[in-house]
Chains A and B, each alone.
Chain A
Amino acid sequence: MLKNLLLIIIADLNKHFKSRKFMIINILSALIPALIVILSLSYNKFNIDQFPLNGQLYTLSVLLVLSFINLKILYSRFNFSNGKVAQEWKKRLNCKYFTLYFALFLSLLIQNIILVISNLPLGFMVMALGGLSFSSLKKYYLVCYFIINLLGIIAIFLNEVFKNTGAMITIYIYLIFVSLIIFSPNRMESAIYIDLNFLPYLLILALIFFLLLIFPAFHKLINKNNGEV
Chain B
Amino acid sequence: MKFKNLLKYILWTKLIFLVIIAIIFVILFFNINSKAIDSENKRDKLKVNVTAGFQGQQAPEGWVPLTIEIENTGDSDFQGELKIEILKRDILAADNNIQTTSYKKIINIEKKRKKNFQTVILYEKDFFAIPHIKILRNNKIIYDKVLELDLKIDYSSNILIINQSGSGYDFLQKDKSGDSNRIYYLQPKHMSEDWLAYREMDLIILGRGDFSNLNRKQIDAIKYWVNQGNKIVISASGDFLSYNSQLINELSPYDYVKKEMIEVDNSLAEIWYLRDLKNNLLLKDGNLPQVIKVDKFGGKIICVALEPLVISKKEELYFNLLPEMEEKGYTDYAFLDKFFDEFAGNIEYQYPESIYLLLIFLIFIIFVVYLYQKVINGSSKISVFLVILIIFSLIFTSLFYITIGRKIINDNNILSEIAIIEMRQGSKRVFVESYFSFLSHFDSDTSYYINRDYGFLDGIFKKASLNKIKNFNLQNRKINIRKSEDEKWQTGQFRAYYRSELPLKYKLIDEEDKYIFVFENKTGLDIKYLSIFYNNQWFYANEIKIGEKENIDIEKNEISYRENRSRGFKETVNMDSYLSERVLNEVIKELTNYQVQLDERIIIFALVEGKGLEDSVKFEKEGKRLFSGVFYLPLDVKKLIAEEEK
| B385 shortest CB reach to chain A, Å | 7
Contact A44 B349 (CB under 8 A): yes
B465 — which chain A residues lie within 8 A by C-beta? Answer: 48-49
Interface of B is mostly: helix
Contact B357 A121 (CB under 8 A): no
Contact B349 A129 (CB under 8 A): yes
| A61 shortest CB reach to chain B, Å | 14
| B578 shortest CB reach to chain A, Å | 11
B397 — which chain A residues lie within 8 A by C-beta? Answer: 120-121, 123-124
Which of A10, A47, A130 makes the CB contact (< 8 A) with B442?
Answer: A130
Check: A207 CB closer than 8 A to any chain B CB. Answer: no
Contact B488 A190 (CB under 8 A): yes
Encode contact with A along B358-401: 1 for CB under 8 Å, 0 otherwise: 10110011001100100110100010011001100110111011
Check: A52 CB closer than 8 A to any chain B CB. Answer: yes
Which of B357, B372, B441, B487 makes the CB contact (< 8 A) with A135?
Answer: B487
Which of B349, B354, B365, B393 makes the CB contact (< 8 A) with A27?
Answer: B365
Contact B349 A128 (CB under 8 A): no
- CB-CB nearest in chain B for A128: B405
Check: B443 CB closer than 8 A to any chain A CB. Answer: yes
Which of B345, B368, B409 makes the CB contact (< 8 A) with A30?
Answer: B368
Check: B347 CB closer than 8 A to any chain A CB. Answer: yes
Check: B117 CB closer than 8 A to any chain A CB. Answer: no
Contact B385 A17 (CB under 8 A): yes
- CB-CB nearest in chain B for A22: B372
A122-B443 CB under 8 A given contacts A23-B369, A26-B372, A135-B487: no
Contact A117 B390 (CB under 8 A): yes
Contact B372 A23 (CB under 8 A): yes
Chain B contact patch, size range = 35 or more
Contact B361 A34 (CB under 8 A): yes
Tell me the complex Cα distance, A122–B396, Å: 11
Contact A121 B393 (CB under 8 A): yes
Contact B488 A128 (CB under 8 A): no
Tell me the complex Cα distance, A114–B489, Å: 31
Check: B406 CB closer than 8 A to any chain A CB. Answer: yes
Tell me the complex Cα distance, A47–B491, Å: 10
Which of B351, B375, B405, B487 makes the CB contact (< 8 A) with A17?
Answer: B375
Which of A10, A35, A38, A127 makes the CB contact (< 8 A) with B405?
Answer: A127
A27-B439 CB under 8 A given contacts A52-B349, A120-B394: no
A120-B361 CB under 8 A given contacts A46-B349, A52-B349: no
Tell me the complex Cα distance, A126–B389, Å: 21
B406 — which chain A residues lie within 8 A by C-beta? Answer: 128
Which of A27, A47, A128 makes the CB contact (< 8 A) with B409?
Answer: A128
Encode contact with A along B433-458: 1 for CB under 8 Å, 0 otherwise: 00000010111000000000000000
Check: A203 CB closer than 8 A to any chain B CB. Answer: no
Contact A48 B393 (CB under 8 A): no
Tell me the complex Cα distance, A30–B369, Å: 12
A41 — which chain B residues lie within 8 A by C-beta? Answer: 351, 354, 357
Check: A3 CB closer than 8 A to any chain B CB. Answer: no
Q: A34-B361, A49-B465, A121-B396 are in contact. List 8 more A-B contacts (CB 8 A).
A: A17-B385, A30-B361, A46-B345, A49-B488, A121-B393, A123-B397, A124-B398, A130-B441
By a beta-carbon cutoff of 8 Å, the part of chain A in contact with chain B is: 10, 13-14, 17-20, 23, 26-27, 30-31, 34-35, 38-39, 41-42, 44-49, 51-52, 110, 113-114, 117-118, 120-125, 127-130, 133-136, 190
Q: What are 8 A-B contacts with C-beta separation under 8 Å?
A: A23-B372, A23-B376, A42-B354, A118-B368, A118-B393, A120-B393, A130-B441, A190-B488
By a beta-carbon cutoff of 8 Å, the part of chain B in contact with chain A is: 344-349, 351, 354, 357-358, 360-361, 364-365, 368-369, 372, 375-376, 378, 382, 385-386, 389-390, 393-394, 396-398, 400-401, 404-406, 408-409, 412, 439, 441-443, 464-465, 487-489, 491
